């Protein structure tokens, strides 16, 4: 295995993994390569760096999976480049975070050829409860951005409502209990309310990555003449929370924008 940060490598080696000096070195020793990084720039570096990237080490026929939340345009470009190098490529962004990883309860959205998914299914099932093949390259990336935008707007809305309640002098604990128990409140929004009330913003989905996903979504929508006023408003909220020092905190720290 290889990682851009040394601490996770040490943890994995302690658990029995074999460390490699670079993605290229790791790919040269593997039949399956799975990459999960935070954004397009990191993905490009890990896959395409001419000296250390996956494509510099992987042999033709390698099963190559990109599981990060990236822009659809970049994923489509990466898929073309990987295919030209002879790799069997899939995009498989994950729905879920640390608790779902630990419970092997992730959902994978998959874009790419069905026959490649058939070969990759066993790998993905190691961490996933459900696997959905959603179409051609880029389609899974697009759907993942929609999923994350839905979560981000819900959480920002709950933060806003709690901010109004607090400023109006309403009991915060009672407001949380009431809002979380409504039939119109999703389970994700209800969980976010509880985290906001507790004030424990240990990151599962950091504010800076929420903002990144909303930027990717709004840009993708523009490419297709789509309107995204709600997502743009949510993006401004998360950017404000980041500017207040919460960029690396959980997305529920968007509540700081409403204090």
Give the active site residues: 144
Closest CA relative to residue 152, chosen from 53, 8, 84, 253: 253
Q: Measured at the alpha carbon of residue 41, what is the angle toward residues 204 and 28, in degrees to the nearest 5? A: 95
172, two tokens: 């915060």
SS3 content of the chain, % helix, strand, coil (to 5): 60, 10, 30
Q: Considering only CA atoms, which of 92, 181, 178, 84 is closest in space to residue 139?
A: 92
**DSSP SS3 for 20:** coil
Rounded to a whole number, what is the distance in angstroms from the first to the last CA of the chain?
Answer: 43
Gap between the Cα atoms of 25 and 193, Å rounded: 44
For tokens 């424990």, what's the residue?
Answer: 200
Structure tokens at 229: 């006023």
């Amino acid at each position: 295995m290889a990682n851009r940060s040394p601490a996770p490598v040490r943890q994995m080696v302690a658990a029995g993994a074999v460390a490699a000096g670079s993605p290229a070195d790791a790919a040269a020793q593997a039949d399956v390569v799975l990459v999960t990084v935070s954004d397009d720039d990191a993905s490009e570096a890990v896959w395409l760096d001419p000296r250390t990237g996956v494509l510099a080490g992987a042999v033709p026929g390698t099963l190559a999976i990109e599981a990060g939340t990236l822009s659809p345009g970049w994923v489509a470009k990466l898929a073309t480049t990987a295919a030209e190098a002879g790799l069997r490529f899939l995009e498989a962004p994950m729905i879920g975070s640390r608790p779902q990883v630990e419970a092997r309860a992730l959902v994978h959205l998959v874009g790419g050829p069905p026959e490649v998914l058939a070969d990759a299914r066993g790998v993905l099932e190691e961490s996933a409860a459900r696997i959905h093949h959603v179409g051609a390259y880029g389609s899974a990336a697009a759907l993942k951005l929609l999923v994350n935008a839905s979560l981000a707007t819900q959480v920002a809305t709950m933060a806003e409502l709690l901010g109004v309640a607090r400023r109006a002098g309403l009991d915060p604990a009672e407001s949380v209990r009431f809002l979380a128990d409504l039939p119109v409140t999703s389970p994700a929004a209800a969980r976010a309310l509880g985290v906001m009330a507790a004030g424990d913003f240990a990151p599962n989905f950091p504010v800076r990555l929420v903002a990144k996903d909303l930027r990717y979504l709004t840009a993708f929508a523009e490419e297709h003449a789509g309107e995204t006023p709600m997502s743009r408003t949510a993006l401004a909220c998360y950017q404000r929370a980041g500017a207040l020092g919460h960029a690396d905190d959980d997305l529920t720290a968007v509540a700081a924008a409403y204090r």
